[in-house]
Chains A and B, each alone.
Chain A
Amino acid sequence: MTDEDKKYEQVLKMLRNSKPILTESDIVTEKIMRQLQEEKSKISIPELIFEYLFGWAYIGWVRRSMIAVVVVIVVLFGYQQALILRRINELSGQRIQHSSLIMTNMQDELLNKIQEYRVTGWKLPDGGKSVSEKEINELINSLNKLQVKYKDLFYLIENDPRLKKYVETRMNESNKTKH
């Protein structure tokens, strides 16, 4: 510790030991009380009305009860909002299913079955795996393409008697081997 530090500590010690004493504290207290009494008697009518209307806010138990009530209301509000959101999600899901039904507009038996899956639920009955909307769309698209190709092929066969005869012969042969 340097000499300067020692001097500083010495001064500090002296000041700490010399705690200021409030002399004539009674007079000070009386002055304060007198001033407070005067101010109390000077309270205006608007202040009194304000005190009457909102004074309860300063009462501890009232304030605590209000806080508790507010917390309950906020929790209820949150719960209600969650319920509403859930319901909205459910409803919006249903709307998508119906709209896709209208948009695809397919009459084929197989496609109707697929659409049934989409309306009744997302799970396939045997595997228990969930099918996404994207996968269903891909399946429908590929079926549509297949249907177009099938129609083209059918048209070609119908218009060419040789090809028609050949196909019929081959199909008969194929049926025979199957049986």
Chain B
Amino acid sequence: MFFTFHKLLRLYYRMPQQILIEENIIENCRNGSLQDFRKLIELISPFAFSVAFRILADEEQAKDIVQETMITLWETIKKIKSPGSFMTWFYRIVVNKCYDQLRKRKRNPEFSADDGTWTLISNKMSENSNLEIENKETAMMIKILTNKLSPKQKAVFVLSDLEEMSNEEVALITGMSRINVKANLHYARKRIGEMIAKHI
């Protein structure tokens, strides 16, 4: 019984996003197999893109982050102590790359929301909230909603509220304590709520 359970545990690594990766793929990547790394990229890059896109609210920059993340992952995959912590490691790389990008952006602020963008959001909301909107519109929405947030608050908001991860997972990925995660999330929700109340 124990053996079966143990075997099952070793077979797959469960990600916060319900994605299952075979242990062999990670182990082969650790041993230098580029072929398996390609498979890994195909499996996990959409998740890196989703997080990066939602934090940065920029499609091209998010794609760059995916590339940089994968390169860093390849360079550091041997250093992962236990393959079980692979996904946390992976998301941590993504979030750190996003922090770097946001810091660069802080030096060159280029965005300010006008009334037109708020009207567009209002229209989309009145159409149907179940409606899937395009990348460009999503980026614009996230950009104006999270514009006033700090990089940490953005990351916590995206991971908790949009990627629907638990506080424990967010704490592990961002390296914050659970209390800090809660505090940042509370502040982010408050600021976004104020923006929505003011403009929509």
Contact surface of A with B, Cβ cutoff 8 Å: 4-5, 7-8, 10-23, 25, 28-29, 31-33, 35-37, 39-40, 58, 60
Contact = CB atoms under 8 A, between A and B. Distances in A.
Interface in B26-75: 27, 30, 34, 37-38, 41-42, 45-46, 49-50, 53-54, 59, 62-63, 66-67, 70-71, 74
Contacts of A19: 50, 132
A42 to B, nearest CB: 13
Interface of B: 27, 30, 34, 37-38, 41-42, 45-46, 49-50, 53-54, 59, 62-63, 66-67, 70-71, 74, 78-79, 121, 124-125, 129-135, 137-139, 141-142, 145, 161-162, 164, 189, 192-193, 196-197, 200
Contact of B135 (A8, A21, A40): A21
Given A28-B45, A36-B37, A20 B193 contact: no
Nearest to A17: B132
A5, A15, A18, A39 pick with most chain B CB within 10 angstroms: A18
A7 B197 contact: yes
B22 to A, nearest CB: 16
B47 to A, nearest CB: 9
B131 A35 contact: no
Chain B interface mostly: helix
A60 B124 CA distance: 52
B50 A31 contact: no
B82 to A, nearest CB: 10
Contact of B42 (A8, A16, A29, A31): A29
Chain A interface mostly: helix
A29 B67 CA distance: 8
B54 A20 contact: yes
B188 to A, nearest CB: 11
Given A8-B189, A15-B141, A36-B74, A29 B38 contact: yes
B189 A22 contact: no
B125 A10 contact: yes
9 contacts: A7-B200, A14-B130, A15-B138, A15-B142, A17-B129, A32-B66, A32-B71, A33-B37, A60-B27
Contact of B129 (A10, A35, A36, A60): A10
Contacts of B78: 58
A20 B129 contact: no
A18 B145 CA distance: 15
Nearest to A12: B161
A20 B197 contact: no
A28 B67 contact: yes
